[in-house]
């Protein structure tokens, strides 16, 4: 082997290694990243996981935000009014059979052989908001729970907001409604010198 060959080999090997490190390896790394990302996306699609949200962020006019909307809705009596149940003191009524069964399960009511009903000590203690009407009792079994803002439309002066909510039952209401469904309500808001106020609210009262 001549001196020239030894010199070429000595110089050439480091050059080849440098080329591999600078050119080939980055391309391989990029390819590996692309392949890994493709595999993750495929796995996500197959598992039913949706990474991207289709909901557009709400655009609030000046001075109005999600917390203000929630506050205005929750203090309105049309939203804050609870759902109440009515029970006759006489067992001759059959329309209240489901609520009576829930009360009996909780140990809140007793029925005498003559068909009269009386509330137990626990019933009197735990039925918050109980009202004695003389021939019947009424009491709250659920309140509305503000969930989220679905959509908002309008400008700096007036806005129309759609919200979602669910019934939040107490222990008696939960026996009648174990899985509350999602409801929607609409609120109209107006801007004034003192801030945003609610001018109208349409809310469902059906117990489901």
pLDDT of residue 183: 97
Tens of pLDDT, residue by residue over 119-169, are 999 999 999 999 999 999 999 999 999 999 999 999 999 999 999 999 999
Assess contact for 150 and 117: CB atoms under 8 A: no
Which tops the pLDDT comparison, 23 or 186?
Answer: 186
**Is pLDDT at 32 greater than 60 in this prediction?**
no
Higher pLDDT, 67 or 32: 67
Contact between 164 and 150 under an 8 Å Cβ cutoff? The reply is yes
pLDDT digits (tens, 9 = 90+) for 70-111: 999 999 999 999 999 999 999 888 889 999 999 999 999 999
Contact 173, 141 (CB under 8 A): yes
Share of the chain above pLDDT 70, in %: 72
Q: How confident is the model at residue 59 (pLDDT cuts 50, 70, 90)?
A: confident
pLDDT of residue 11: 52
> How far is the CA of 17 from the CAs of 6, 8, 29, 30, 135, in angstroms?
17, 14, 17, 19, 97
pLDDT at residue 22 above 90?
no
125 vs 22, higher pLDDT: 125
pLDDT of residue 175 exceeding 60: yes
pLDDT of residue 14: 58
């Amino acid at each position: 082997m001549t001196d020239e060959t030894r010199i070429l080999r000595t110089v050439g090997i480091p050059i080849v290694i440098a080329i591999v490190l600078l050119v080939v390896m980055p391309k391989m790394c990029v390819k590996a990243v692309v392949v890994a990302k493709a595999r993750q996306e495929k796995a996500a699609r197959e598992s039913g996981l949706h990474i991207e949200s289709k909901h557009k962020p709400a655009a609030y006019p000046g001075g109005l935000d999600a917390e203000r909307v929630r506050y205005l809705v929750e203090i309105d009596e049309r939203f804050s009014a609870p759902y109440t149940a009515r029970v006759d003191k006489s067992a001759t009524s059959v329309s209240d059979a489901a609520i009576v069964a829930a009360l009996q399960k909780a140990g809140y009511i007793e029925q005498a052989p003559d068909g009269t009903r009386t509330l137990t000590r626990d019933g009197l203690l735990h039925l918050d908001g109980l009202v004695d009407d003389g021939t019947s009792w009424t009491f709250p079994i659920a309140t509305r729970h503000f969930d989220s803002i679905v959509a908002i439309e309008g400008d700096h002066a007036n806005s129309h907001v759609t919200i979602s909510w669910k019934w939040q039952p107490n222990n008696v209401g939960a026996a009648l409604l174990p899985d509350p469904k999602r409801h929607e309500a609409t609120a109209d808001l107006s801007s004034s010198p003192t801030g945003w106020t609610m001018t109208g609210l349409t809310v469902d009262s059906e117990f489901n």
